Amino acid sequence: MELSLLLIKQIVSMFLIMSIGFISMKTKLVKPSDGKVLSAVVLYVSAPCMILSSFQMEYSNDKLTGLLFTTAAALAVHVIFIALGTLLKRPLKLNGMEQASVIYPNAVNLIVPIVIAVLGREYVFYCSGYMIVQTILMWTHGKSLVREEHSWDLKKIVFNINVIALAAGLCLFLFRIRLPDVINGAIESVSDTMGPLTMLVIGMLLGEMGFSKIITDKRAYLVCLIRLLVFPIIIVLISGITGVIGLHPDGRNIMLISVLSASSAAAAMITQFAQIYDKQPGHAGVINVMSVLMCVVTMPLMAAIFQYLTG
């Protein structure tokens, strides 16, 4: 019940911000081209700051082993999701953007507030493990899926600001370097804009569309079914049956973070990519909105099944 209430509160907040973007577009306070600017800010400014700030944590061996555990779990989850997405692509006729939407969940904007409320702020650090894996894969595999281009420019990947932020944050943590309060405060302030700006962009995208187009998007229902039920239940069953939580003293709570992340709505960054590369941004926005709304039911369900299997 507590998890459900926290999800509802977080989702209502996200939808209120989204409605501001929707109204702004409908009243012509902003132009469609403004959405691309905001998308670029989210991807290349807010996201790197979010990554960097998550590593500003006091070092300890327990935290390091926990981080390695959650990173390994996240890698396993993504390998399974990518394999399943590849298998389903042809029979379900998924395009690149849809395939990316079923593979990559929103493991930051929605999950972090829930983790803070349910497990405590100290567990946010373990979300970094999922972020490490997803950042690398999102900017390589995920981006190529949306663009429908399978060639990767290694130089662009290595020097991508998000990958640089990831490497810098990890080094700061491992070498026990804490940034000065004034710098850390500025980074945290910018990182806090990621969620609101993302919701504004999605609201603006939906403002360009009619409500009838949103609710009649049959493909979006299919994508949401896979993203919120089919893929997560596989991870929940594997986690509960294999006894993987026994690999770490706090394995149950840490694995719960991975389960929640894997059960989350479609990654908002897919919508950002679709917006920047003109790959059905409206359809991507509908998928994101639907999945956010539906996960208020599916996420607590997955968490409950996981807790039952591991209790």
- DSSP E strands, 64-149: none
Please report, to the nearest 10 degrees, the dihedral formed by the alpha carbons of residues 157, 158, 159, 162 taken in order. 70
pLDDT at residue 212 in the model: 77
Question: pLDDT of 45-92, one tens digit each?
Answer: 998 998 898 888 888 888 899 999 999 999 999 999 999 999 999 999
Average pLDDT over residues 170-193: 93
Residues in contact with 26: Cβ distance below 8 Å, sequence separation at least 6, in sequence order: 207
What's this model's pTM, rounded to 2 decimal places? 0.86
Query: What tokens were used for 303?
Result: 């968490």
Residue whose entry in the numeric block shows the structure tokens 């939580």: 245
CA separation for the pair 42, 274 (Å, rounded)? 13
Q: Check whether 131 has a pLDDT greater than 90.
A: no
Query: What tokens were used for 45?
Result: 């400014």
Domain 2-27+35-310 has CATH 3.40.190.80: no
Judge whether 35 and 29 are in contact, CB under 8 Å.
no
Average pLDDT over residues 249-274: 91
In this structure, how many other beta carbons lie within 10 angstroms of the beta carbon of residue 59? 13
Question: pLDDT of 192-221, one tens digit each?
Answer: 888 889 889 888 878 877 677 778 889 999
Judge whether 105 and 261 are in contact, CB under 8 Å.
yes
Question: pLDDT of 274-289, one tens digit each?
Answer: 988 889 988 998 998 8
Judge whether 55 and 124 are in contact, CB under 8 Å.
no
pLDDT at residue 80 in the model: 97
